[in-house]
Chains A and B, each alone.
Chain A
Amino acid sequence: MTSNSYLINTTRFILLILVQVLVFNRLNFFGYINPMVYILFLYWYPLTQNRSLFIFISFLLGLMVDIFSDTMAIHAASTVTLAYLRPTIMRFCFGVNFELQNFKLTNTNRAQRITCLALMIVIHHFVFFNLEIFSYENVLLILKKVSSISLATLIMSLLLGSLFSVKKE
C-alpha cells in the first residue's frame, strides 16, 4: 500500500461511518428499511496479503457503527464475518484471476462486480439480523428483513459506487 492508499482508506472509513449514522440510519423507509452502506468499505478495500489487519479494521468499523446506533456489537460481529469470508466470495465471483498480482476490480465486468457485492451484502445482513432478532420463532421476519434491506443496500451501494468510482482511462 502506498501512502496515498492509506489516506484514501482512512477518509473512506470516517466518511462511510458518518454517512451511515447521520443519513442512512435515519431513512426508515417503510418504517424499517435502513440500508447499511458502510460495508462498501469492505468491498473497496485493496486486496492485500495482510488479511489480519483487514479483519481487525473491519471489526473497528463495525464497532464504531455499533456505538453510534446503540446496537451493542451486532454490526461488529457481522462485519468481521464478512471480512473473513471476503477472499472466498471474491474467488467465487472472479475466478482464478483473483489470485493474480495485477488483479483490479476495474478490470472485471459489471455482472461479476454486482454479483460479488450482492453476495457480500446478503451474507452480512443474514448474520446481522440473526443476531439482532435472535429467536427462531421469527424466521419469517428475519427472512423478510434480510431480503428487503439487502435489496435497498444493494441499490444504494451501486448508486454510491457509480457516484464515486474512478473514471476508466
Chain B
Amino acid sequence: MQQIINFIIRNKNFLLYVLLFTISFAFTVQSHLYHHSKFFNSANWLTGNIFQTQSNISSYFSLNEQNQKLQEENQRLRFLLFNKKEKDTVPLDSSYNKYTVIASQIIKNSFSLPKNYITIDKGRNDGIKPDMGVITANGILGIIENISPNFATVQSILNTNSRINAKIKNTNHFGSLVWDTKDYNTVQLTDIQRLVPINIGDTIVTGASSSIFPENIPIGIIKNFDLNNTQNSYHIDVALFNDMTNVKHIYVLENHHREEIQQLESTTKND
C-alpha cells in the first residue's frame, strides 16, 4: 500500500497528464462518432456574449455591403410577389402554414476547420430548436445543433459530419451532400446513380426527403463530376451559391410537420 501511494506521489505529474489527455481525447473521439457535441460549444452565455459584442462592433464595417445584399433579396421577392398568379382563395388561418421563418444574424463564422460550426444570436427564447434548417438569401447554410437561451450553434454544410439530402433540379434523382474539407467553396454530392444524365452547370437543390429543409432551396451548380471507385455512382463537385466566408443575415426554418413525419417513419421502421 505504502509503495502504491509512493508511486502515485512520485508520478503525479505523469498521471495527471494521462488523466487530462484521456478526458480530452475521449471528448474528441466522441465528437467524431456522434454529431452532437453537447458539452463544449460556443452557444453558452459567456462565449455568446463575447462574440455578440465583437459582432456588434465589426458589423458596422460591412454595413453597406450587407444592406445591398438584403435589398437585392427584397427585389427578387417583390418580383415574385407582384408576378404571382392570383389564387381563388387565400387561407387566413396561420395553422395552414407549413414553415415558420425566424430571422437571425451570425456572430461567429468559421470555414477553415474540418468541422465548422457557426454561432447565431437567437436561441431557445426565440423559438429555435435543434435540427431546424438554416438558409441565407442565396442558399442553404446548415442545421441547428446546440441551443442555449439566447444563442445557438449551427452545424455548417462545411462539416465532415454534415449529410444533407440534395437532388438535381427538375428531376427526382437525389443523393447526399458531404464535404471533403479541401475547399470552402466546393461541396460534394454522392450516391447519384451512373444512369442519371448530368451536365456541368446543372443546378443542385435540396431534396424532398428531408424533413428539415423545404424542397428546392438552391445549393450550387455542378463544377465537375466523375464516377467513383465502384463505377456505379457519380462523385460530383458542387460550387456553392453562398460565399461561406461572407454571410451575416440568415433565416432559420421550422417545419411544423417534422414531428409527424418522424413519428410516422419510426412506426414504419418498427413494423
A55 adjacent to chain B (CB < 8 Å): yes
- Given A22-B54, A55-B13, A59-B20, decide whether A70 and B117 contact each other with a Cβ distance below 8 A: yes
Main secondary structure of the interface of A (DSSP, over half): helix
Interface stretch, picked from A103-111, A130-138, A151-159, is: A130-138
Interface centre among A25, A56, A72, A132 (most CB of B within 10 A): A72
Known contacts: A55-B13, A76-B20. The answer to whether A70 contacts B110 by CB under 8 A is: yes
Q: Are B28 and A31 in contact (CB under 8 A)?
A: no
Q: Is B47 an interface residue (CB 8 A)?
A: yes
Pick the contact of B42: A55, A68, A74 (CB < 8 A). A68
Question: By the criterion CB–CB under 8 Å, are A84 and B13 in contact?
Answer: yes
User: Closest residue of chain B to A81, judged by CB?
Assistant: B21
The contact of A28 among B14, B111, B119, by CB within 8 Å, is B111
User: In the complex, which of the residues A55, A59, A76, A132 contacts B113, with contact meaning CB atoms closer than 8 Å?
Assistant: A132
Interface residue tally on B, bucketed by range: 35 or more
Interface size on A, residues (CB 8 A): 35
Question: With an 8 A cutoff between CB atoms, is A48 at the interface?
Answer: no
23 contacts between A and B (CB under 8 A): A21-B50, A28-B112, A28-B245, A32-B112, A55-B16, A55-B20, A62-B24, A67-B47, A69-B42, A69-B113, A70-B40, A70-B116, A70-B119, A72-B30, A72-B37, A73-B24, A73-B28, A77-B21, A77-B25, A84-B13, A84-B14, A84-B17, A132-B114
Name B residues whose Cβ lies closer than 8 Å to a Cβ of A: 12-14, 16-17, 20-21, 23-25, 27-28, 30-32, 37, 40-42, 44, 47, 50-51, 54, 110-117, 119, 153, 181, 183-184, 245
Instruction: Report which A residues bind B (CB closer than 8 A).
Output: 18, 21-22, 25, 28, 31-34, 51-52, 55-56, 59, 62-63, 66-74, 76-77, 80-81, 83-84, 131-134
Given contacts A63-B24, A70-B37, A73-B24, 19 further A-B contacts (CB under 8 A): A21-B50, A22-B54, A31-B111, A31-B112, A31-B184, A52-B13, A63-B40, A68-B50, A69-B110, A69-B113, A70-B110, A70-B117, A72-B28, A72-B31, A73-B23, A76-B23, A83-B17, A131-B25, A134-B32
